[in-house]
Structure 1
Amino acid sequence: MLVRALDDWDDAYANGAHIEGAEGYPPRWAGAAAAFRETVPEVRLDIGYGAGAREALDLFLPESAPRGLAVFVHGGYWRQFAKGDWSHLAAGAVARGYAVAIPSYTLCPEAKIAAITGQVARAIAQAAGIVPGPIFLAGHSAGGHLVTRMASAASPLGQGSAMRLKTVLSISGLHDLRPLLRTTLNRDLRLDWEEATAESPALHPPRQGTRHIAWVGADERPEFIRQSELIANIWAGCGATTMLEVEAGRHHFDVIDGLTDPKSAMLDAWLG
C-alpha cells in the first residue's frame, strides 16, 4: 500500500479549522472552570512549585481523605492557556475521591519544550509532597506529550514520584515531535532536530512497569490518531502495558469531556 507524503503539515496539525464552532470552546471551558471552583469541596489555588511566574498549580480536594493524586496537564501546543482554564476537568476524579492537581507552565516561545518538561516534573513532585498515595497522570494534546514524557525512561520525574506512578492517560497526545519541525508552529516552539528527538516519548523506551493509555477522538485530524497509534504500538513492543481507545464521535476539543464525568469509560480506564 502506497502512503503519500503530506504536503501541508500546518493543516495536518490544525484542529480548530476542522471543528464546527471551534471559537466557542475556550470561553465555555473558562466558564465551566470558574463554576467548578465555586462548587468543589476544597480548593487550594496558586501553590508554587518554582520561582517562575507561571510555576504554580491548583489543587482540588475531595470531601474525605484522598485515595491518591491525579494530575492533569493542559494543552495548547505548549503556547496557550493556563491552569485556571481547565479546573472543571478535575470534576470526575474528585468525585471518585482523588485529589487533582492542575499546573500551569511557562509557555513557548519564552520557554522551550525541554524546559517545560522539567517544570511539569517539578509540579508533580510538589503535589506528590502534599497528597500521599498512588499517582495518576493525564494530559491533553501538548499535555498528553508532557505526561507521557514523565513515563519515559528519559523522564526528569524523580524516583519517589515515579515509584508511585500508576497510569498515564494521554488524550490526543503528541508523541513524536519531529513532524512539527515542518510547521509554522515551530516559529514559537523553536525545536531543532536534536530537541525534537530528545523530547519525543515514542523515541524512548518506557519506564519499567509503565501503564499507558492513548485516547483519541475518531473525528480528529489523522495525524493525532496516528500519533496515538504510534505510542501504543511502540511502547507495547517495549514491554509496557498499553491501551489505545479511538472514541467514536469525538473531536480534539470535546474528547476531554470524559474527565468531567466520574462514571465515564475514560475515568474507568484511567483510575480503574
Structure 2
Amino acid sequence: MRDWDDAYANSAHVPGSDQLPARWAERAAAYRARLKSFKPDIAYGSGERQRLDLILPDGDSKGLVVFVHGGYWMRFDKSSWTDLAEGARSHGWTVALPSYTLAPAARISDITAEIAVAIASAAAQVSGPIRLAGHSAGGHLVTRMLCDDGRLEPEVYDRIVATLSISGLHDLRPLLKTAMNQTLRMNMSEAALESAALHLPRGKSPLTTWVGGSERPEFIRQAELMANIWTGFDVPTHLVVDPGHNHFTVVDGLKDPSSAITRRLLGLV
C-alpha cells in the first residue's frame, strides 16, 4: 500500500522547513517596505480574505501577472509572497497577489470560484495581456482557469497569453487518501471536478508545468501528467523539471528578472 501522506509531505523531506514561513513573511515585508508603487488589500469580494495586492512597475504597465500562493488550500496568504513579484515587475508588468478563503471554511471548489473573481477584478484594473502563475495549490487554481467549465468570462479568458503551474496539483483524487482531506473534505465527485487533468482545455492558451527536480516524486508525476494530457488536445504545453530545487526553493527564481522561470513566465524564451 502506498503512503499517500508521505507522497505529499514536502516539509518532512526538506531540513529546516519549519523555519521557512517566518523567513518568507519577513522577506516579503522587507520588500514591501522598499516598493514605490504598491496598492494593498483591494477587495474583490465581501469575505475577510477576499483581498488582493497590486505591485506596480516603475513605468507604464505591459499587462497583468497574477500569482496565486500555495499551502494545500489550508495555509498562508498573499503577505508572504510579495517579493516573488520582483522579476515580473522589473520587466514592466503589474503583479496581483490574491488571498482566498482557506479550508475548512471553504471547499476547494469555492476557492476556485474565488480565484476566478480575483483574476477578473485585477483584470478590470490593469489593461493588456494576462499571465497566470501559481505554486502548489496555487498551480492547481490557475490551471483550473483554463478548463472547459468556463470559470472566467470570455473577455478575461481571451486575454490570458500564458499560464505557469509551479509544482501544481492537477489530479486531486489521490488526496482523498491523505489525512489532510479531513480538512479539505473532498469526496470523489469534487476531487474529479477540481482536477484539471480530467478536464478538456477551454482553448489553446499555452501552459507550462514547472517542478523542482528534488521534489517529492508525486509532484514531478503531477507536472508530467498535466503537460502530457493537454498536449494530446493540441494545447501548447511545456514541462520543465528544474534540477536541484525542492518544493520551496523552486519559486525563488521569480524574484530574479533574469532567471529561467521569470523568462518563461513572461514569454522571453
Band of TM-score, shorter chain:
over 0.9
What's the TM-score once normalised by structure 1's chain length?
A: 0.97
Please report how far the alpha carbon of residue 150 of structure 1 lies from its aligned counterpart in structure 2 after TM superposition: 0.5
The alpha carbon displacement at 1:7 in A equals: 1.9
> CA-to-partner distance for each residue in 1:121-153, whole Å, 9 max, x for gaps?
000000000000000000000000000000111
Structure 1, unmatched stretches of 5+, are 1-5
2:156 to 152, 158, 161: 161
1:115 aligned partner: 110
Fraction of identical pairs, as percent: 55
How far apart are the structure 1 equivalents of 2:35 and 2:145? Answer: 28
Amino acid at match of 1:183: T
Contact 1:149/1:155 (<8 A) preserved = no
What amino acid does structure 1 have at the position aligned with 2:164?
Answer: L
Asked if 1:146 corresponds to 2:135, the answer is: no
Structure 2 regions of 5+ residues with no counterpart?
none
2:241 counterpart of 1:246: yes
Aligned to 2:180: 185
Asked whether the equivalents of residues 40 and 62 of structure 1 are also in contact (C-alpha less than 8 Å), the reply is no
RMSD: 0.7
- Deviation track 1:68-113 (CA, whole Å, cap 9, x = no partner) reads 0000000000000001111111111101100000000000000000
Equivalent AA in structure 2 for residue 145 of structure 1: H
Kindly state the Cα deviation for residue 17 of structure 1 after the two structures are TM-superposed: 0.2
Counterpart-to-counterpart distance in 1, 2:175 and 2:146: 22
Matched residues in 2 for 1:207 and 1:171: separation?
20
Q: Does 1:132 align with 2:133?
A: no
CA contact (8 A) 1:173 1:227 kept: yes
- Matching residue within 59, 62, 67 for 1:67: 62
**Distance in 2 of aligned mates of 1:269 and 1:53:** 33
Q: 1:33 aligns with which of 21, 28, 31?
A: 28
1:103 to 98, 104, 109: 98
Count of aligned pairs between the two proteins: 267
Query: Does residue 195 of structure 1 match 2:190?
Result: yes
Deviation at 1:155, TM superposition (A): 3.5
Cα deviation, residue 157, structure 1: 1.3
Partner of 1:243: helix, strand, or coil?
A: strand
What residue number does 2:47 align with? 52
Q: Deviations over 1:184-225 (max 9, x none)?
A: 010011000000000100000112121000000000000000
Q: Tell me, yes or no, if the aligned pair for 1:153 and 1:206 is still in contact at 8 Å.
A: yes
Instruction: Compute the TM-score of the two structures, normalised by the length of structure 2.
Output: 0.98
